[in-house]
Structure 1
Amino acid sequence: MANAIFAGFNLANFWDDSDYALKQYVEEPPTSELIASVEQELGYKLPAAYIELMQGHNGGTPVNTCFPTDKPTSWADDHVAITGISGIGRTKTYSLCGELGSQFMLDEWGYPPIGICICDCPSAGHDMVMLDYSACGPQGEPTVVHVDQEDDYAITFLAKDFESFVRGLVNEQAYDTSAEDLQKDLARIRSSAFSPLLTELVAQQAEADYEQIIRNLCYKLTIEKQYFALHADELSTLLYDAQFLLYSQAHPVISKAAFLEVYPDIIALADGEFSTSGYAPDFIEDWFENRRAAGQIVVDSTGIFTFSEAYERTLRQRLLQHLA
């Protein structure tokens, strides 16, 4: 698409037409009548650069989805990210006047009445990119800002106009810190302090160095996943087993709920640096129910939950294999 507004800018490779984008964002090219009716409904004149872009491709997900910032937001220290750019229309979910369009975000999410919500973000509503008409009035040329619902709707200036915003978008790979994050995770797993509870639990195991077993298991898991988190994979399941084994050897487990209550204090949300810093409760609940159904977690004559003798023997043998 050749035009004076985006002169020298390659719009041919701007859009990423995934199935999701085509379904949720992309409208037919807008007619003059549709543009006028959308402007009337929203109460603002749309920027010429935005109309120009939409006439060539009416909404969607761009290839480059990040915009640099000079101060931190709830998304990152140095940039914000968008999921898509709203099209001019009413039929697609994320169009300007669609089901989750601009007015919905103002009415239901409480975004400030400064203009038009133009781009949604990966936070699913907790931050937005908006056209800000505060200084220019409804008929003027708006700036582009980021509005952070997570930070009491803090406003961060992004670009002087919509064209500058489009030209300033960069690819998310420019902010990919996964390699550095992985090395930090691995360093933390190798040497950072266990939580007080996990420290207590491994100290009571005279059979073997369970501190090293836990560190080795978490290290292998993190290499496999490329980040430190427990889900439903084989190593995660073994770590659920290890935590239950250590805890149940030191403290009576009177119910599933009792164990689930203390579980976060071992690794998931533990005090200290050795932690996944979060977890999905469904994974640990499913693990517990599966062990119960298989007869591997049993209730003894006093009403205490433990591993069966047979499963505990097998489990300890498996754990010892991870000592080296």
Structure 2
Amino acid sequence: MKMELLKIENLAIEEISKIKRIVVDEINFTLKSGETLGIVGESGSGKTVTAMSILKLLSNDLKVSKGKIIFDGEDISTFSEEEMEKIRGNKLSVVFQNPISSLNPLMKVGKQISEVIERHNEISKEEAKNQVLEILKDVGFEEEAEEIYNRYPHELSGGQGQRIGIAMAVANKPKLIIADEPTTALDKHIQEQILELLKSIQKKYNSAIIFISHDLGIVRRITDRAVVMYFGQIVEIGETQEIFKNPKHPYTKGLLDSLPENFRRGERIKVMKGTIPSINDKIEGCFFSPRCPRATEKCRKERIKLEKFEDRIIRCINPLKEVEND
């Protein structure tokens, strides 16, 4: 039986610049060891901000204003930066969308991965290098591990750079890997390789993965459960395949209805009406109500809570029934 590794309880993140507003609110979800959880939604929905709060890598104008982040039995939302440095890159790691940009351009990539290992383990430089070479083989550089070890970041292709990002993330066999849009800038062939690589790495190390993406097709293939976000709030949580087969929230259905794969060549693709709200919009009730074809007066006037509904957790008082999706 898989154990609960992460539990987010009533998390809120506040912007503390001149505007002073809540950007993410009422975030509640769990993650088990070895599980892959997708976080999806349009740009501006709060996916990345939510994930970066787990790592305590929020920008200076943001802060966690409420809630708990319980990771591996401890509330890490209370951790100091020194305490976070002990688990970040060790028990908890991240793969960014463009990992090459976060590397030191003047240092060989193998040495940079070695430093991640040496920082968290009492180990000689020779032992660290041997471990790095094994990790490079694990991420697909079987025949050229030594050569890649000695390259500088600018000498890597996009796909190679993403593999290095994964190598750094798994260097200390983390319990949780957060993958933030790791395939967005890659072509379809390289995307496929990176996805297969993440799954094989997960199987080898039994790491849990939080996979952040706006690409619903990828989320469907790689995740066990999915969290759908809209304008800083969760609107639906459930098993990925069930969500795709039978979405309950109108926003989720709108996202799925717009997938190109659902249309024949020459057919007009459905586009969800309206756009995600701006920070200046005054919405009294459900944030999705201005765009929702099922919105009632109550939806427009009252805040809606995230509640259990059948096999889902959903933020909606007028959810879709299965028959409506046939």
Normalising by structure 2, what TM-score?
Answer: 0.22
RCO higher in structure (CA 8 A, sep ≥6): 2
Report which of the two has the higher share of strand: 2
Alignment TM-score, normalising by the size of structure 1? 0.22
Higher normalized helix content (fraction of residues): 1
